[in-house]
Structure 1
Amino acid sequence: MTSETFSHTIPGQPSLPSPEQIRRAPKVLLHDHLDGGLRPATVVDLAAAIGYDKLPETDPEKLGVWFREAADSGSLERYLETFAHTCAVMQTREALFRVAAECAEDLAADGVVYAEVRYAPEQHLEAGLTLEQVVEAVNEGFREGERRARANGHRIRVGAMLTAMRHAARALEIAELTNNYRDSGVVGFDIAGAEAGFPPTRHLDAFEFLKRENNHFTIHAGEAFGLPSIWQALQWCGADRLGHGVRIIDDIEIAEDGTVKLGRLASYVRDKRIPLEMCPTSNLQTAAATSYEEHPIGLLRKLHFRATVNTDNRLMSGTSMSREFEHLVKAFGYTLDDMQWFTVNAMKSAFIPFDERLAMINDVIKPGYAELKSEWLFRQTTTGTA
């Protein structure tokens, strides 16, 4: 174990970013589920178009509330049940195209400049689409959403992540699909679903294939299940990133005098700069954390883990990247400098080539934050207020 001195005191800052500054700040999103981010009105429209009559509400506003309340159960399994409705209305090319295009638009309007959005192609085959048709419809939707965003003065790039369901047996097939479309908008692979009882080691053939092909993948681990799932994802499967990874906190001890001791797994994750795709609001809903103030991201940021901020499921959590940062600003006193740190962490960890990541950091992210900080300094010097 490693140890170091740790202070619980949050450094004081002259000013915290306003909601408008947070929205305008360039943000990078690595963990967002396509079927968890639909607009409630779109769910209603698509359900009516196909005669799907199982929605609990047909008023968009009430439906949005229902999704949030149903997801706010403290159980990952119950949380995942809400996806039956969104997947049910995402079974045609037109529906997939629309949902993907609106996803890119919504993220761009929220200040997201780069996003990796994941979905499971195997869950969209009920109306007769092939896996390839699903991928192509979503990719075309993302491109259309990027075009609409540009027309509205926003900049965004969206990469698709193909997900295999960990309780199913199609991981190798989806990994091969990921590889086939790696130069056509798909940037990586993931497995998702209930962790307990479905370890990532069930899909070693998929991970071995991706490693042989020099392709990228992340694994949902350390959310509902603890340190063993993180260890398996890294040491057995070789994941590039950890989806959530919030339970790494179980390998960190804080003594009463403020001394921090990292266990061997936590030290490995930090020292190897393994990215953690943290989703604060979602973690509260699934009881992986008890409050924003107690969320492990605060400690992990101070210990300089490669922590990133993400939405997970914007519909179910009633959230956005701006809302996630608003919660963290309130809980931990984060400034624009902290937001930039998280954002650069995420961009460094993206599944696109190094030169493209570097260009996004130097040409988009850093200038965007520099402009916001300059505006703040100007107001402070001219009005005496932050």
Structure 2
Amino acid sequence: MRPKGDCAARLAAASRATTTTLMADALLPRVCYTSILGPQRFPAKRFFLKAFSDIVKMRMDLKELKSLAAVARCGSITKAGELLHLTPSAIHRHLKLLSEELNVALYERRGLGLCLTPVAANLLPLVEDLLIQCDSIRAAARDWNRLERGVVRIGAGPTFSSYVLPPFMDAFRKKHPGIDLYLEAGHTGTLLGELADGLLDLVFLVPRPSAEVEFVTEAAWEFDVPLIAPPGSSLPKRVALRSLSGRPFLLYRQGTYFEELIDRWLNAHHFVPRVAMRLDNAEPIKALVRSGFGVSLVPDWTIRQEVERGDLVRIPLREAPLRCRLALLRRRAKYVPAPTAAFIQAARQWRW
């Protein structure tokens, strides 16, 4: 039997107050505000409670907040619509309603694109955190019902995505058929940005030390980076780096952290390679090495099949081999959804 009159009103008010306090407690450590007038000192809890109380009283729709976050990310109403699978007119309507409710302008045109106004940019961190919290609420509800369903969004570099992840993902899917896996291959900066924004749940990569401070390292593995040469090369079975000074090297494009690790290792051994080409990933490097254009250093997982077939040759070095560290990172959060936790556990147990 539903309560009536004053009792119902008091219950609704108590519910709103509790929700407001919980949301403030959840977001307070994660969001830092800077006002339009510059950094301000607020009684933090009181400020957040008032802000959330105002939001609860509003009839704000999550679709409107998602549209604002999408426009901030894409810089275009049309592209934001494509990202959210909505028409541009729907995105425009969401922004108009949100602008009227907040009584502020949210965006302005700049050239051919859009950019957020200062006040909207100031609100954006709270909006993004609120959307992430809503996703966590949905995930927690699914877990409470003991439904092993959901999606895990994974990011990894192109090489790791091509060679290592497919068999692991196939095995995970067979064991957890109710969990959908979404994989995005990209470069380190892009993947870490999407992990921080909540667009990815987990990322496999060779991390800089700063990344392991910002994110949680759930697992890590070491791997070799051997020297490879074409079959039938005149190289001895074991060589010193200095004996390769006249040979052309095919290396990764500069600017990537993996290539930075290779350069450091070469410098540590006082060796300056004669770089003939720099390429984006292992596939063109291997093809050119097979054709006799030079030698290279690549992750061992990219050449296992070629070495077994005799298409490429691993050349042992007299120097200590280059070893790198691959990590599985996730965003810092108190709650980890069950599908993501299952994926992490499976990754820890997998023989990479």
For Structure 1 versus Structure 2, the TM-score category normalised by the shorter chain is: under 0.3
Q: Which has the larger radius of gyration?
A: 2
User: TM-score, structure 1 length as denominator?
Assistant: 0.24
User: TM-score, structure 2 length as denominator?
Assistant: 0.25
